[in-house]
Structure 1
Amino acid sequence: MATVSEKEWTGFQGLPAATQIILHTLLAKLRKQKVDKITIVLLGKGGVGKSSIVNSLFSERVAAVSAFRSETLRPRQYSRSKDGFKLTVIDTPGFVEAGRVDAALNSIRRYLLGKTINVVLYVDRLDGPREDKVDVKISRAISQAFGPQIWPHVIVVFTHAEIHLEDVTYSEFVSRRSAALRNIILKESRFKTVNTKVPFVLVENCSRCSENGEHEKILPDGTVWLPVLFEALVDLVLGSKKPILIDEKMIGISKGNPLGSIWMPLVLLAQFVLIWRPIRKAIDRDLVEEAQRHSP
C-alpha cells in the first residue's frame, strides 16, 4: 500500500520572497479558473532526481533522497494545502534498467487506478546520453500502459541542469538533448499533431546550486528554475487539456468477471464435498482399523 502524507504547505514560507510573489500570482490564476487542486505524477528512470523534485516543489524534505540509489520502492503520495489550494505529488519507483520497465509500470498504474491526474513529469538527467535505448523502451512502455492520451499531459523535466561545458554553449547543448528525447517520445507515442512541442523544464536540485541575489536557485544561463517549473505546471493545467482519469478502460486492468465471486465458492464447496471429505473419511477409517489391529 502506498504512503499518503497530507499537511499544511509550511515550506511555502521558506521560499525566497521573489519566488513567493510569483507563486501567489500563479495561485490567483488557478483560483480565478476555479482550480483548487493539482495532482502531479513523476515518471522516469531510477536515480534521476524524481524524489528531489518532490522536495523542491514543497520546499521541504518530504521524500527520502539518496545520491547512490533510488529510494522510492513503491508509489508514495504527498499532499500540501495552502489557502484552499491542494498540491498533490505522486512519486514512483524508477525504471532502473530496461528489464524492470514493464514491472514498474504495472505497479504504478495499479496504484493510479481511479485517480485523476493533471500533469505527468517525465524526469531524466540533462547530462544523460542523447541516444538511450532505455528512453525508447520507457516511452514505448508508457504509451502501452496508459495509451497515447497520456502524453499531452506530460512535461519533460531535465535534472542535473547545472553542468559546465567546454566544447559547446549551454543553450546549444540543452537544445540537442531536449530534441533527442522529444523525438523519441514523438516516435514512440505515435503523435501526429497533438502536443508536438512536448514542453520541457530544466531543474537543479543540488544544495550547492548557484543562487542569485534573491537567494533563488539559478541555472548556468541565469534562469531561476523553480518558478519556471511552476509556471509550466499552471500553463498546462489551465490549457485546453482536461484532467485525465486513470480508469480500467484506459490502462486495461479489469476487476474481473463478477460471476467469479459467485462461482468460486461453489467450486470450492464441490471440491470439499466430492473430493476432500471422502478422502478425510477414508483416512479416518484407516486410522481406526490400524488402531484396532494393534490393540491387545
Structure 2
Amino acid sequence: MVVQTIREWSGIQQFPAATQTKVLELLEKLHHENVTTLTILVMGKGGVGKSSTVNSLIRERVVNVSAFQACYGFTRTRTRAGFTLNIIDTPALIEGGYVNDRALDIIKRFFLNKTIDILLYVDRLDGYRVDNLDRQIIKAITDSFGKAIWRRSLIVLTHAQLSPPDGINYDDFFSRRSDAILKVVHLGAHIKRQELQDLEIPVVLVENSGRCRTNESDEKVSFLYFFVIKPFQRAIKNDIRKESKPLWEQRDMGLSNCQFWYGFPQELGSF
C-alpha cells in the first residue's frame, strides 16, 4: 500500500457552509469522547468510482493515480482539530476476469495491526446485472476479513444521477439494483436467513460529478449528510469499543468469538 503524507484536512472548507458546520461540530464531539481516529476501507471492482468517492469524502479534486498506486492502492490521511481520518483506496478486486488474490493479500497484511472502522463496498447503480464473479468477490473479502466485516459495511452505488430504462421509475430501478447486490452479498458471505435481521447493510446513492442535485444549502442531496455526517455520529458512540486486534487476526489465534464493532446505523437504510 502507498501511504501518503499526513495533511491538514483543508478540504472541509470546500464543503457547503451547512455541511462544514455539521462536520466541525462532530469533530468537537469526537474530541470530547476521546475518539481521535476513523479508518475507512474502500473496496470494489475497477471503474466503479472508488477514487472519485474518496475525493468527494475529503472534498479534494480528483488526482491522477499512477500505475504503481493502481496496483497497490493508497492511503489518504487527513487531520483536523486533533482528529485523524484515514481512507484506504484499494486496487481493483478483479484482474483478468478473476479475483485479484494478490491485492487482497496486500490489503490484509496492511491491516494486520490496524482496525477497520468502516468498509465501503462500491459498485455502480447503472450496472444491469450481478453474476458469479460478484459473489466470488464477496466471498474473497469474507475469507480475508471474516463475515463480521459486513456488520460495519455500507454498499455505495455510484453514478446515481441517471435516467432509468424506459418503463421503470427511479425508485423501482434503485430497489431492484440494491436488492440484487444485497442478495449476492448474503450469498457470498454465507449470511444465513436467521442472521439477516441483525445484519442489515445500508445502501446509499452517490453522484460524484457536478450533475448531482443540491438542496437550498447547496448540499448534495442524499449524499453529504447521510453519507458523511450520520456514519461519523455512529462512530462516536461505538469507536471506544474497538478490539485491540482485528477480527481476522483473532480468528487466526482461535479467538473468533470476540465481538466486532457494528459500524453503521440501521436507520440509514435505502433512500
Give the TM-score normalised by the residue count of structure 2.
0.80
1:173 offset after TM fit, Å? 1.5
Distance 1:132 1:13 in 2: 41
Distance 1:135 1:50 in 2: 16
Alignment check: 8 A CA contact 2:73 2:88 kept: yes
Alignment check: 8 A CA contact 1:52 1:65 kept: no
User: Which is greater in Rg?
Assistant: 1
Alignment check: 8 A CA contact 2:214 2:220 kept: yes
Counterpart of 1:83 in structure 2: which amino acid?
Answer: A
3-state SS of 2:98 partner: helix
1:156 offset after TM fit, Å? 1.0
3-state SS of 1:24 partner: helix
How do 1:1-296 residues align onto structure 2 when only pairs under 5 Å count? 2-61=2-61, 63-64=63-64, 72-97=70-95, 98-165=97-164, 166-192=166-192, 193=195, 195-218=198-221, 223=222, 225-238=223-236, 242-243=241-242, 245-246=245-246, 249-250=249-250
Counterpart of 2:226 in structure 1: which amino acid?
Answer: V
3-state SS of 2:46 partner: coil
What corresponds to 2:268 in structure 1?
Answer: none
Distance 2:176 2:24 in 1: 34
Counterpart of 1:114 in structure 2: which amino acid?
Answer: N
3-state SS of 2:176 partner: helix
Counterpart of 1:210 in structure 2: which amino acid?
Answer: R
1:155 offset after TM fit, Å? 0.9
Alignment check: 8 A CA contact 2:39 2:86 kept: yes
- Pairwise CA RMSD of aligned residues? 2.7
What 5-or-longer segments of structure 2 have no aligned partner? 254-271
Structure 1 residues 75, 252: closer, same or farther in 2, change over 3 A? farther
Percent identity between the two aligned chains? 39
Distance 1:130 1:240 in 2: 35
1:12 offset after TM fit, Å? 0.5
3-state SS of 2:113 partner: coil
3-state SS of 2:174 partner: helix
> Please, which moves more after superposition, 22-31 or 99-108?
22-31
Higher RCO (CA 8 Å, separation ≥ 6 residues): 2
Structure 1 residues 161, 41: closer, same or farther in 2, change over 3 A? same
Per-residue CA deviation, residues 94-127 of structure 1 (Å, 9 max, x unaligned), is 1234414322211211222211211111111111
Counterpart of 1:57 in structure 2: which amino acid?
Answer: L
Give structure 1 regions of 4+ aligned residues with deviation exceeding 6 angstroms.
Answer: none
Structure 1 residues 141, 111: closer, same or farther in 2, change over 3 A? same
Alignment check: 8 A CA contact 2:146 2:248 kept: no
Distance 1:251 1:46 in 2: 29
> Please, which moves more after superposition, 243-252 or 146-155?
243-252
Counterpart of 1:89 in structure 2: which amino acid?
Answer: I
1:167 offset after TM fit, Å? 1.8
> Please, which moves more after superposition, 242-251 or 71-80?
242-251
3-state SS of 1:72 partner: helix
Distance 1:252 1:9 in 2: 36
1:251 offset after TM fit, Å? 7.5
3-state SS of 1:79 partner: strand
